[in-house]
Amino acid sequence: MNFIAIIPARYASTRFPAKPLATLAGKTVIQRVYEQVVPFVDKAVVATDHQLIFDEVRRFGGEVVMTATTHKSGTDRCNEALSKVNGHFDVVINVQGDEPFIQQSQIEALKHCFNDSEVDIATLVKPFERTDGFQAVSNPNSPKVVIGNNNQALYFSRSVIPFVRGVEMGDEWMQRQVFYKHIGIYAYRVNVLNEITKLPQSSLEIAESLEQLRWLQNGYKIKVGITYVETVGIDTPQDLIKAEQFLKSHPELYAH
């Protein structure tokens, strides 16, 4: 199978404007994301909506396409970018432009999901550790996933799922049940990506503000790859400081 990684990178972020152009240990965030991905796919392309990001990707020798400023999600931006790229691909991997620490093992876990011919979409989860504490599990900004015996996603929620009945809610729940944190990296078969971008918002998606519920509600099968790698996404300027510290403490992961 041929895999293309598309990296949506928009300029106007409410919490961190021009985030892809921020400098992280001597390189821009978007360059670090690109360099982490490109060795492990057949092609990698940045999809942006701003000339400054376009020029930066060209500067470091990456591939880039310009897309509309009106897209509401990275999924929509990926679909437009795919239409502007030459070549035949079976699967699109959507790597967020603020994930400079994505690892080979995570990309391979996504790719492996498509060994199952019935899988439409793949994503990643990470088990919450007991040391994280129940406060991390109950954080609504960290979506949870319930998965089936075949590692298919059954449901995503900002609430703590599943509910452990008969036990007081708290740390003891983590001794009774494995809870999975959703890592927001997706992969889609090319035909599926085209289909899901045409779907209207669903009631579950609107309720939880989680795009992937639209796909589940419309009957698409989402396979889950399990990762044990902790990464640092960059949503705010404060996250950039944490990312600098993370990079200094894990130099072996980022030799380039």
Provide the 8-state DSSP code for 236. Answer: S
Q: Which residues contact 100 (CB under 8 A, 6 or more apart)?
A: 24, 29, 32, 33, 36, 234, 243
- Site of tokens 């609430």: 159
Give the 3-state secondary structure of residue 75: helix
pLDDT at 252: 65
Percentage of residues in the chain having pLDDT higher than 90: 81
Judged on CB neighbours under 10 Å (0-12, 13-18, 19+), 135 is exposed
> What are the structure tokens assigned to 216, written together?
């589940």
Distance of alpha carbon 246 from alpha carbon 27, whole angstroms: 15
Given a contact cutoff of 8 angstroms between Cβ atoms, the answer to whether 24 and 100 are in contact is yes
pLDDT at 254: 59
pLDDT tens readout for residues 20-51: 999 998 899 999 999 999 999 999 999 999 99
Give the 3-state secondary structure of residue 166: coil
Q: Where are the domains of the chain?
A: 3-241
Mean pLDDT rounded to a whole number for the chain: 93
pTM exceeds 0.75 = yes
Given a contact cutoff of 8 angstroms between Cβ atoms, the answer to whether 164 and 65 are in contact is no
What mean pLDDT do residues 205-213 have? 97
Give the 3-state secondary structure of residue 6: strand
pLDDT tens readout for residues 88-127: 999 999 999 888 989 999 999 999 999 999 999 999 999 9
Nearest of 4, 63, 5 to residue 31 by alpha carbon: 63
Give the 3-state secondary structure of residue 100: coil
CA of residue 184 relative to chain centroid, distance: 3
| 151: alpha, beta or left? (left if phi > 0; alpha if psi -120 to 50) | left
Top-level CATH class of 3-241? alpha beta
